[in-house]
Chains A and B, each alone.
Chain A
Amino acid sequence: MRFQIERRSQPSAVMRFAAPVVATVLTLAAGSLLFAFLGHDPIDTLYAFFISPLSTMNGLSEWILKASPLILIGCGLAIGFRANVWNIGAEGQLVVGAIAATGVGLFVSLPTGLLLPVMVLAGMVAGMAWAAIAAFLRARMNTNEILVTLMLTYIASFLLSYLVHGPWRDPDGFNYPQTALLPVEAMFAPFDYAYRVNTSVFLTVVAVLAMWLFTERSFLGYKMSVGGAAPQAARYAGFKQSSSIWMGLLISGAVAGIAGMAEAAGPLGQLSAQISPGYGFAAIIVAFIGRLHAFGIVLGGLLLSLLYIGGEGVQMDLGLPAALTRIFQGLLLFFLLAADFLIFYRIRVIRRTH
């Protein structure tokens, strides 16, 4: 008996949607092995990781709270990825968005009703501007956007560190590297003061719908997808590559900036040295798990958010290492990419006949 790999005559539509499920199951299986290796009962630990966080109201609130930025950023990144534009530095765009919005919230006096919208705008423009550097260098100077967006992420984190250790540090903050708290009118209102999930979720809902319209119903979105899938056909049709680069980076930068703003004006309420637990990087996985599709990204965001809160949970309750979350994130993407193989190929078992 041997295995033979065959190319399918057509990509399998079933496998396209089954692959994320297969990847999730394989990640859970690998996770169980890891738990057993650490001397914990796999079933109990899986329960503690993935089920018990969702069994309390607070857990549900945290689930939505953390899924929101992941989905928001994932939508923007997916638009770029569809066009083969690789913005890997959403984390940096998130940081500058948070910086700009907090700056407005702390230091600009505006009428109460206007403050929050202007902060959203500031976060968006800052994120876009940060991504625009990479767009300009790629479109005009032929410079690889992966490396530029990543380098800009390191630079953004130094900028944040400078501000919270220096000029923006809260004078009454016992020397902690953080700004003063934002005033209440500069924050998103929670749905219920007992929990942290807040009205910024609506921004994510709007983004998901906007992404669906853009990718499925707009000519510009169609042009960008063609440019990614078949660059030569796009060139022949007269679709400009540079406009895809600009759109892909500006849109993803804008939503990442908004996500950073919503972190500062939501669960954090200030700017501190640690503003994101790697949402910008995890959102890359969200976009892939969600098949670069708006509604898929919602599911992907919920899954990755569960990895965050489950990881925190087992760290606190069972003393498991915090690194598990990132290991699971990496494994999930590994398994997804491997499972995607089955979209284009089938494995056939051939029995020798004697």
Chain B
Amino acid sequence: MDLFIAIFTGTIIAATPLIFAALGELVVEKSGVLNLGIEGMMLIGAATAVWSVFSGLPVLPAIVLSALAGAVSALLFGVLVLTFMTNQYAAGLALAIFGSGVSAFIGRDFGSDPTTALDEWHIPVLGDLPVIGPLFFQYDPLVYFSFIMFGLISWFLYRTKGGLIVRTVGESPQSAHAIGYPVIAIRYLTVAFGGAMAGIGGAYLSIAYTPLWVEEMTAGRGWIALALVVFATWRPLRVILGAWLFGGMTILQLQGQALGVGVPSEVLSSLPYVATIVVLVIISRNRQMMTLHFPASLGKPFRPAG
């Protein structure tokens, strides 16, 4: 039972940074913009969080700063692809490389010093229940926040006029522009939002998941988040399911290493990356499913005439 609880909670926690980053990217892509730079934004968020904590800030402002840092770096990308209409692939890659450098720069003095970790909330009464308590009611606040964000984003995209506008901008910026919506301004907002979410995802890594700073500590999670959005075929609930799948892979391979199954640790460590390829193949083969929820203008630059 204890092992089950450990795997279950471990999965939820390992999935949290992916949920933040992938939900953010989902909103960005729904508006028709493809930002490949999630890895860079997560790294900047992670380094900013550690820097803030070491500068004496409490955890909450540190997370807010990380979100801001993520949003600002995303806006660099935004200026390129929205104002200068550059190739979105190239600009996203530039952001990934830039973020790796900037984060290493911010974190250069914090070589593996442990940070004060985000405390878990032990929710009164519910958290005391046997089994149920440890399974659902003893996480740190960001885990709950990730589910709140899931609810808000699902509600916004599919139940509000704002969400309809964002989706219209992603489907047909020409039509949205013709009706009178400011396509570029809306895309700036979604890009900044995606950056903030990636920043929080990065902060989660460096102050909750493994509370310290290590260069390149995201270890490809930004790219996996990108794959999750494809895997989810641009639907929020499936992002959560996908993130749990990868969280589960991560925890199972860690448990496998701890138990010493007779496989080299590197084989186990590479499993989440192999799994990413496998699920991408399974989803992508089904062209119909891919195109059903695919934002039609994804990756294409738009410039209002006139």
Q: Contact residues of A with B, CB < 8 Å?
A: 86, 88, 137, 141-144, 146-148, 150-152, 154-155, 158-159, 161-162, 165-166, 281, 284-285, 288, 321-331, 333-334, 337-338, 340-341, 344
Contacts and interface: CB of A to CB of B under 8 A. Distances in A.
Nearest to B269: A158
Contacts of B86: 337-338, 340-341
Contact of A321 (B40, B93, B105, B227): B105
B276 A330 contact: no
7 contacts: A141-B284, A147-B230, A151-B276, A155-B274, A159-B270, A285-B94, A330-B100
Given A147-B227, A162-B264, A337 B281 contact: no
A252 to B, nearest CB: 15
B76 interface: yes
Contacts of B99: 330
B104 A146 contact: no
A333 B104 contact: no
B95 interface: yes
A143 B230 CA distance: 10
B305 to A, nearest CB: 10
Given A142-B287, A147-B223, A334-B80, 17 more contacts: A137-B280, A146-B36, A150-B223, A151-B227, A151-B274, A151-B277, A154-B219, A154-B273, A155-B270, A155-B273, A165-B266, A284-B93, A288-B90, A322-B104, A327-B105, A329-B97, A338-B80
B97 A333 contact: yes
B90 A337 contact: yes
B155 interface: no
Contacts of A148: 277, 280
Contact of A151 (B267, B269, B273): B273
Contact of A333 (B94, B223, B273): B94
Contact of A330 (B95, B220, B270): B95
B144 interface: no
Contacts of A159: 266, 270
B7 to A, nearest CB: 22
B290 A341 contact: no
Contacts of A321: 104-105, 108
Interface residues of B, number: 46
Contact of A166 (B103, B264, B281): B264
Which of A141, A161, A330, A344 has the most chain B CB atoms inside 10 A of its CB? A330
A254 to B, nearest CB: 21
B285 A151 contact: no
Contact of A162 (B36, B266, B281): B266
Interface in B205-235: 219-220, 223, 226-227, 230
Interface in B249-269: 264, 266-267, 269
B94 A334 contact: yes
A147 B101 CA distance: 21
Contacts of B284: 137, 141-144
Contacts of B103: 323
A143 B98 contact: no
B112 interface: no
B44 to A, nearest CB: 11
Nearest to B103: A323
A117 to B, nearest CB: 31
Contacts of B145: none
B101 A330 contact: yes
B230 A333 contact: no
A285 B223 contact: no
A161 B90 contact: no
A331 B220 CA distance: 21
B104 A334 contact: no
A158 B270 contact: yes
Nearest to B34: A146
B230 A326 contact: no
B91 interface: yes
A90 B169 CA distance: 35
B276 A147 contact: yes
Contacts of A88: 93
A323 B105 contact: yes
Contacts of B264: 162, 166
Which of A147, A152, A284, A340 has the most chain B CB atoms inside 10 A of its CB? A147
A286 to B, nearest CB: 12
B220 A162 contact: no
A327 B101 contact: yes
A161 B76 CA distance: 35
A142 B280 CA distance: 9
B85 interface: yes
A331 B97 CA distance: 9
Contact of B94 (A86, A161, A337): A337
B84 interface: yes
A147 B90 CA distance: 14
B221 to A, nearest CB: 11
A269 B132 CA distance: 57
A147 B105 CA distance: 26
A327 B98 contact: yes
B282 to A, nearest CB: 9
Given A141-B285, A340-B86, A324 B277 contact: no
Contact of A86 (B85, B89, B98): B89
A344 B287 CA distance: 34
